[in-house]
Amino acid sequence: MAEIIRKLRKKKWVIPVIIIGIAAVAIYFGTTAVRTSRLGVPNYQVKTASAERGTIELTVAGTGSLEAADSVNVQIPSILSVADMKVALGDQVKAGDVLATLDAGALQSSISQVQSDITAIDDQINTAKNSSAEATINAPVAGRVKAIAAAPDDDVTNTMVQDGYLVELSVDGRMKANIQSGSDPGAGSAVIVTLSDGSRINGTILSSGPSSFVVTTTDNGPAPGEQVSVQTNGGEELGSGTLEISTPLNVVGNGGTVKSVNVSLNAGVSQGQTLVTLKDSVSVLQYQELAQKRIAYANLLQLLLKYEETNSIVAETGGSVTAIPSGQQPGSANSPQVDINNLLNNLPLSLGSGMGPAAIAQSYGSADAPVFTYASASHNKPGQRTGFTFVSDAGPVSDRGSGSSTGSAPDTGPGSAASVPLASPPDPVTEIVGVIAVPVTQPVLGGTPQVTIPSGTGYTGTVTWSPVAAFFGPGTVYTAGVTLKADPGYRFADTINATVAGATVSDFSVSPEAEQNTVTLKAAFPATAALPAGVDLNQYINSAVQKNLQDSLNQSVNDAVNSAINGIANNDALQNSLNNSLNGAIDSAVSGIGNVPITIDGSSLFPSTGSASTSTAMTTLCTITPGKSFTLTAGINESDIFSVKAGQKANIVMDAMLNNIFSGEVSKVSTVGTSQSGVTAYPVTVKLDAAKTPLLSGMNATANIVTEIKENVLTIPMDALQEQGDQEYVYLYDSSQPPRQRNGQPVGTRQAVTTGISDGVNVEVTSGLKKGEAIVYTVAESNSLQDAFIAMGGARNGRGGTQSGGAAGTANTSSPNSAGNASP
């Protein structure tokens, strides 16, 4: 040992090194022990509570954006001409602000026209009032009169509403009665039927059973509802019952006043025999229709006179301008827009004598020469006259098929379908989303109804019109029925929307197919223009066609002939010869055609417009949203949707104002959901209650919908509830002792409980506790040093995450308060 010390003394530098090393080891293990001690045992806060009665609400949440529910369409007569629109989209307006100014001249013209229309309607009303038109109601089949509901001077409509018929016939000659009886006389047996006045008539058993049978007898005499009794031919009583018509037929009517009833009860009638004569059956209905029309025109005149005072349209309510139809531009009133060429090429015509159907086709020697064809064109609609078209085919002869009258290349200019080639549909199916601007041309007087929608990216479409017409007539409101069909590999998203410029869209729907589904909608346009003042429909169309026919024919023919002659190159003699002979002949023919009288029946082209030529239809100038009423459409998860019903209350929080809670009520629950990332959500509409805090359309919000509410139930904090397996329990607290915990567990007596619903903060206790009983529980506190070491360890180990064991306060968690034994 001495030797060792001696050697160490020779190396004095070694001793400090050893001492420092020992100290470092001690510090390391001491620090590690302290760290392990502090990190291994979390800090717990001991809390107490008592079972108290209260209210618990169950909620489901969904997010969405606000939509204004109080938008007002500013409606103006469609005949007005807007000179200057004074507001733009998004402007704020107050009640009384000028929205638009009007064309003063057009306004005065409209007032005069409406006054003339009212005078014309008054004349028709007087004619209808003085009419004594009569009509008859006849027997549709032969039979016997068994009931008469009509009487002279009765209103037919009132009688139909009250009784359901004017005259009731028996058409098979029999009455029948169901007889309750213990006897079974057998089907086909002859019996005696005794009527209520004691008279007896023959009867026959139609069908029978152990407890009842049906007897039939003549319909000549017995009345429906009469009580009868039935006996065997031997006098045995079989039972009694009530007669009814075996095979009844109700004779009905639909309007007018009864002048006379021409038959009596029990009378036999033949088919076509007059049963009831009516008076004013036509004139009364016509009078009512005209009276309603006059009211509409009187209201229109009153409105026009109101506008005349200021020559402007003013806002009746304040708010934001949220929509302005594209048609509401300066000068966009309903002035006649008639395409004469369109009329010439499409109107069914009746030509005078000497001009039968003709087809003239002439090709000239060159392969590139055009062919001019004049052909009669048959219209497929029944009863429609033949028409004519002139077309020029300038394509090579080799490219033209037999009988073709056209040869122009497809339109590949901007906006045409050919200029926007569709990409090959991707796999899987591509959804068409957003808002589709459907290109439907607004109806104009004399225009041809559009029947197809140009191809879009992933879809095509068709259009039908109501009312149906070959051409758009004057003063008529037309509604386009649009159907869009997705192409193979595409589908319309359930959230898709669509707009039609200048129209009001309604009845919008999306079919549910996973591919190639359809979108349908209706687009109502403002009424077409009225005819020029004092001009008859037939006069207007015929004069336009007659005036332009010869010029149109002459130009079309000469263009085609000149093109053909010029195509014959290097042969002046042949050109001159053709020019002289062909042009001379064609000019003569065209002149002849121009002198042929042409008549067009306008009533066959357009719906009836009645006596007045001015439309009383209204159109939308703009839409104003006061912003006082809103709805929220929130997406609710498929796992919660069955608990949501109309009428449930909701609490709404806006993303832009988290400290405000707005109230509302569920107004609609949709059964058509949308799927995203494998989760389906269903739109639920919540109507917000009126609030003083201003809101704006488009704001994002979350709705917490109250699906179940329990009042006056026993509740405890969710954190106090412990679980072990399928058992739930709490620790009762001895108030004589301070609240304590041992190793993270509360010191108390373990008490089993059963629970009901929970809102995540409190839980309902249905048994095991009484009101006022005290409980004790612990809640793990956050340890900043522990968290720091966890973070360091996570970074050192190359992985993130948190320490296992769960977060404090999580509902129905069992760590660390779920030990199986009560605390000592």
Contact residues for 255 (Cβ-Cβ < 8 A; gap 6+): 156, 157, 281, 284, 285
Distance CA 511, CA 495 (A): 11
Give which of 331, 167, 132 is closest to 249, Cα–Cα: 167
For 327-336, what is the mean pLDDT? 45
The single-letter DSSP state of residue 719 is: G
Predicted local confidence at residue 570, as pLDDT: 52
pLDDT score, position 782:
59
For residue 717, pLDDT beyond 80: yes
Q: Look up residue 743 and give its DSSP letter.
A: T
Indicate whether 794 pLDDT > 80. Answer: no
Sheet holding 518-524, edge to edge: 452-456, 459-466, 479-486, 518-524, 504-510
Closest CA to 444 of 350, 528, 322: 528
DSSP string, 133-171: -EEEEE-SS-EEEEEE---TT-BHHHHHHHHS-SEEEES
Q: What is the mean pLDDT of the chain?
A: 73
Q: What is the mean pLDDT of residues 284-299?
A: 80
Per DSSP, the residues of 417-461 read GGGSPPPPPPSSPEEE-SEEE---PPP-TTPPPP-EEEEETTEEE
Average pLDDT of span 219-235: 92
Amino acid at 24: A
Strands of the sheet with 98-102, listed across from one edge: 82-85, 98-102, 312-314
Q: Angle of helix 104-129 relative to helix 283-310, nearest 10 degrees?
A: 160
Cα 603 to Cα 605: distance, rounded to the nearest angstrom = 5
Sheet holding 167-170, edge to edge: 248-251, 167-170, 143-148, 268-269
pLDDT at 124: 79
182 vs 687: which has the higher pLDDT: 687
When pLDDT is cut at 50, 70 and 90, the band that residue 536 belongs to is low
Beta strand ranges found along 649-801 (DSSP E): 649-654, 657-669, 674-676, 679-688, 700-717, 722-724, 727-732, 741-742, 745-746, 749-758, 762-767, 774-780
Q: What is the pTM of this model?
A: 0.41
The DSSP symbol for 494 reads: T
Measured CA to CA, the distance from residue 396 to residue 390 in angstroms comes to 19
Q: Is the peptide bond before 816 cis (omega within 30 degrees of 0)?
A: yes
The answer to whether the CB of 525 falls within 8 A of the CB of 482 is no
pLDDT of residue 151: 95
Phi, psi of 415 (to 5 degrees): 90, -15
Return d(Cα 361, Cα 401) in angstroms, integer.
13
Judged against a pLDDT cut of 50, whether residue 447 lies above it is answered with yes
H-helix or E-strand containing 303? Answer: helix 283-310
Angle between helices 14-40 and 784-797 (to 10 degrees): 110
Determine contact, residues 62/632, Cβ cutoff 8 Å.
Answer: no
Residue 166's pLDDT is what?
93
Whole-number Å distance between alpha carbons of 313 and 95: 11
What was the pLDDT predicted at 504?
A: 85
Position 604 scores a pLDDT of 41
Work out the percent of the chain whose per-residue pLDDT is above 90.
26
In one-letter notation, the amino acid at residue 7 is K
Q: What is the DSSP letter of 511?
A: -
pLDDT digits 0-9 by tens, 600-645: 444 444 444 444 556 778 888 899 988 888 899 999 988 889 989 9
232-246, 728-742, 787-801, 804-818: range with highest mean pLDDT: 232-246
Mean pLDDT throughout 334-349?
40
Question: Do β-strands 459-466 and 72-77 pair in parallel, antiparallel, or remain unpaired?
Answer: unpaired
Identify which has the larger pLDDT, 382 or 163.
163
pLDDT for residue 785 is more than 90: no
pLDDT of 43 reads 80
Backbone angles phi and psi of 713, in degrees to 5: -110, 155
Q: List the beta bridge partners of residue 64.
A: 634, 701
Point out the least confidently predicted range of 44-58, 366-380, 655-669.
Answer: 366-380
714 within 8 A of 764, measured Cβ to Cβ? yes
Q: Give the model's pLDDT for residue 615.
A: 75
d(CA 411, CA 327) in angstroms, rounded, equals 27
Which of helix, strand or coil describes residue 235?
Answer: coil
Query: pLDDT exceeding 70 applies to what percent of the chain?
Result: 65
Lowest mean pLDDT among 330-334, 444-448, 658-662: 330-334
Give the pLDDT mean for 495-520: 90
Cα distances from 765 to residues 710, 713, 770, 773, 819, in angstroms, run 12, 8, 9, 12, 21
> What confidence score (pLDDT) does residue 14 get?
46
Residue among 400, 387, 392 nearest 558 (CA): 392
Q: Kindly provide the b/e burial profile for residues 661-685, where b requires at least 16 CB atoms within 10 angstroms of the residue's own CB.
A: ebebbbeebeeebeeeeeeebbbbb
pLDDT at 56: 86
Alpha-carbon distances of 261 from 265, 281, 400, 434, rounded to whole Å: 11, 15, 71, 65
Stretch 352-368: mean pLDDT, rounded? 31
Which tops the pLDDT comparison, 691 or 300?
300
pLDDT value of position 818: 38
Q: What pLDDT digit, counting tens, does each position of 566-582 carry?
A: 555 455 665 566 566 55
The pLDDT assigned to 278 comes to 86
pLDDT for residue 243: 95
